Amino acid sequence: MKYIRSALHIVALPLILLFIWFISTLGEPNFFIPTPQQLVETFINTWTADRFLGDVFPSLGRLIVGIALSIVVGIVGGLLIGSFRWLRALLEPTLEFFRAIPPTVLIPVLMLLVGVGDDMKVSVIVLGAVWPILLNTIEGVRSMDEVLADTSRTYGMNRVNTVRYLILPSAMPQIMAGIRQSLSIALILMVISEMFASTEGLGFAIVQFQRSFAIPEMWSGIALLGFIGVLMSFIFQLAERWILGWYHGLREIEQSA
């Protein structure tokens, strides 16, 4: 009963939206808005195995590499910058400057510098997605509990263990919040990076459909992006529940007290 109920909660709004869409496309056919049936049909015909191999998987590959690099660079950089006051003083104004630059304006420059291949696209993703993780990690390291830090010092924890058992887990709630923001930024930049001088990829395919007036196909591509977004958020939630189980439990107890 409980499961049926929570399942209902999940599907209720999508069903209502589908129904409104269905009703509003009942009359005269509109060239720019396909009916739900049309879209499902187009989706199945458009996103074949070939398309997945040729466009979707390369895009997802670059997305995953981009996110992974952002996480590694963001966390390592954040741990270093957060741990040393002088490094923070040295880098913070510069970081603010680079953070303010939208990565999309760098695409033409990057095309000249690193070419039009995968490197450029991954660079664009990393240049946009690294900031929330980096800044959150710095903040997480800085807000370390003093008593906990003193405890580690009195037990003579070495550098490696201090990072592994104290600094990293203590900053983890903030790091995860940063990663969550980065995921949606990465997806947006993945699409945009494929709209310039590209020959394959999800973003490329959608733009091509648009230019050739294949409107239902274009919509099906947009729907696929939405599904990828949902899948990413689902995977993130699973990972978060596993990594931050202690944090949610602690919060629950603090709030009930």
* Residue ranges binding another protein (CB under 8 A): 145-148, 150-151, 153-158, 161, 165-166, 169-170, 172, 246-247, 249-250, 253-254
Q: Give ∠ CA 95-69-49 in degrees, rounded to 5.
A: 135
| Interhelix angle 2-24/36-46, nearest 10 degrees | 100
**Least distance between another protein and beta carbon 167 (Å):** 12
Cβ closer to another protein: 119 or 145? 145
In the complex with another protein, which residue's Cβ is closer, 27 or 156? 156
Residue nearer to another protein on the CB measure, 166 or 192: 166
What's the closest the beta carbon of residue 145 comes to another protein, in angstroms?
A: 5
In a 10 Å sphere around its CB, with 0-12 CB exposed, 13-18 middle and 19+ buried, how is residue 157 labelled? middle
Place of tokens 């924890």: 157
Question: Nearer Cβ to another protein, position 16 or 250?
Answer: 250
CB 239, min distance to another protein, A: 15
Residue closer to another protein (CB basis): 149 or 197: 149
Measured from the CB atom, is 13 or 147 closer to another protein? 147
Give the chain's length.
257
- Residue with tokens 């690193």, as numbered in its chain: 114
- 86 Cβ neighbours under 8 A, 6+ residues apart: none
Please name the residues in contact with 27: beta carbons below 8 A apart, sequence gap of 6 or more. none
CB–CB of 133/75 below 8 Å?
yes
Judged by beta carbon, residue 31 or residue 242, the one nearer another protein is 242
Find out whether 64 and 235 touch, Cβ atoms under 8 Å: no
* Min separation Cβ 152 and another protein, Å: 9
Exposed/middle/buried for residue 124 (C-beta within 10 Å: 0-12, 13-18, 19+) = buried
Cβ(222)–Cβ(206) under 8 Å? yes
Q: CB of residue 250 vs another protein: minimum separation in angstroms?
A: 5
